[in-house]
Structure formats: structure tokens, C-alpha cells
Chain A
């Protein structure tokens, strides 16, 4: 028997009919035993499949997860990436510290500080020498004045 509701009945059964078709099918079902039978058969088959549902073996699931971990994705590879990143950062830090340490040493040699210190020391030495020289000049001047004073007193 073909009542012409076959495809509408399918849309109705699986919740894809619009409101108009749904109402039409509902009205039709009241008087059509064949469509009611198709609905009941679909319900029974669907329920039987649902009741007999089974899943894959745990080994199959584990195999997929194992492949994911070893394929360079997932937690395993993420740890490797993290480790490599950490290693790289540590190496970079070591390099920077080492080079900057050498530069610090180089600066101590090359920044002219020692030369400046030498210059200051030399200047101090020069100043002391000048002072000593002046002092000697003063002493010489004083002794000359003393000699002249002595000569004058003799003449007097």
C-alpha cells in the first residue's frame, strides 16, 4: 500500500518535519495502519540497535592514544618541547652571562681607569715635587737673605 506519506513519515519520525508536515502526518496516522506499522517497525529496530550497543576494545582505544603520544603530539611531545625550550633559554642565559663577564673584565682593562689613576698619581707626585722644589727655593732664598744680612752686619 502506498499512501504517499513515506518520506513525510520519515521526516516526522526523526524530528525533521516542519510544523505543517508534522500536523499533516499526525492527522494521517489516525487512519493509516500501514504508516503506524512503519513507525512501530522503525522504533523497534532503533531500540534493538541501541540495546545492543557495544564499544571498541580497550586495546584499540589504547593503541590510538599510544600512537598520538608517540607521533609528536600530545603531552609527551609537549614535554619535549618544553624541555628543549628550557635548555635553549638556559644556554642563552649562560652565553649572555659569560660574554658579559668577559666584557666586564675587558672594560676594567680598557676603559682607561688605570691610566687615569696613573695620571692622578703622577699629578700628585708632580705637585709634591713642585712643593718640594718651592720649599727648597724658599729655603735657598732664606739662606741667601741670611747670608746678605750677615754680610751687612759685618760691614756695619
Chain B
């Protein structure tokens, strides 16, 4: 069964001409990569474009992925670089504010649609909004580590390698993010 085949084997199959292998790879990772990009950029259209950019890199230059590294680590490195390039091109917005400016969505807009989203249905609009506000209050470094861990499920050691920082730095950022979230969410979280 192809579901049991590793990511590395699927990439090898794709390199050998099996398009179905690419479909399986995307099926496994598309939501995580897209979710990560959506969180970083705050815009669904930009996240869609960057998502394509990430997987097109594999299509156009499959040798850019070496079988010696973990595919998911490579994928999120490419996704992060694509987001960084986007921020460099569109330097008007690096931090995602809570409120949008009419053209671009703010972090709070991710949950503030007219219809309740899944997170709001799960928590209720008030708590969901408080969580979004707490996430938006994290520093850029803290958010980056927190989102990378959540969406990629890579180990902290792998995240440290991806970000090219010591693992202690990654753990410290996560720890400060946890403290910040607790402070923002208040006593109800204890």
C-alpha cells in the first residue's frame, strides 16, 4: 500500500516519473504547510500562492531535496523561506496586527468571520478571540517556533537545525511563549 511508503520513497518515485506519488505527498502535508503559511502571512490568497511555490520547487527542481534529510524538515524550510521572501517583497507587512486594514486580514480576522469557524464553534467566539489575541502578542521569534512546532510536528532539535539556532534558544523561545500565553489568557488557564 502506498500509504505505508515513506516520504523519501515517495519523492524517489516522483523523481522516477510517478505523479501519483506527488499527489500522495501533497495529501500528507498540504494542510500543515498551508496552515503554517496562513498563520505566517495572515492572508489566504498569499498562503495559496506560497503553497504552490513550495511544491513547485519540488516539481521543477526535485534534486533540491536530498534523501539524506527528513522531507518534512525540507518542506517547512522551503515554506519558511518562501514566506520570508514574500515579506521581503511586500515589506509593508511583517507583523500581523490583530485588526486588518481593510485590504489585508489581521490575525483576529482569521477567526472573526460572520459565520463561526471551527475554532469558535469549539471554544466559543470569546475564548477563540482571546487565544488569537494571545498568539498575536507573541514576539516574531516565539510565534515562529510555536507555529513550526504545531504544524510541522518536528522535534525541537530538528526545528533548531531548520532555524540554525541552538536547541536551547528554541526551548527558551517556546518557554517564553508559554508564559506569555498564560499571562494573556489569564487565570482561567490554571
Contact = CB atoms under 8 A, between A and B. Distances in A.
B156 A33 contact: no
Interface in A1-25: 6-7, 9-11, 13-14, 16
Given A45-B134, A48-B131, 5 more contacts: A6-B179, A51-B122, A56-B34, A65-B19, A68-B22
A68 B59 contact: yes
B181 A42 contact: yes
A14 B110 contact: no
Contacts of A55: 30-31, 34-35
A36 interface: yes
A45 B122 contact: no
Given A65-B22, A75-B19, A52 B181 contact: no
Nearest to B145: A10
Contact of A67 (B48, B59, B117, B147): B59
B128 A41 contact: no
Nearest to A57: B48
Nearest to A72: B17
B100 interface: no
Contacts of B33: 56
B131 A54 contact: no
Nearest to B176: A6
A41 B189 contact: yes
Interface residues of A, number: 48
23 contacts: A7-B171, A14-B156, A37-B182, A40-B190, A41-B182, A45-B146, A48-B128, A49-B35, A49-B39, A49-B147, A51-B121, A52-B128, A55-B30, A56-B48, A57-B48, A64-B26, A64-B55, A64-B59, A74-B17, A74-B20, A74-B22, A75-B20, A76-B19
Nearest to A38: B178
A33 to B, nearest CB: 5
B14 interface: yes
Given A16-B155, A41-B178, A7 B172 contact: yes
Q: Which of B62, B110, B175 has the most CB of A within 10 A?
A: B175
Give the 5 A-B residue pairs with the shortest CB-CB distance, closest first.
A74-B19, A6-B175, A52-B119, A41-B181, A37-B190
Given A44-B131, A44-B185, A45-B135, A53 B31 contact: yes
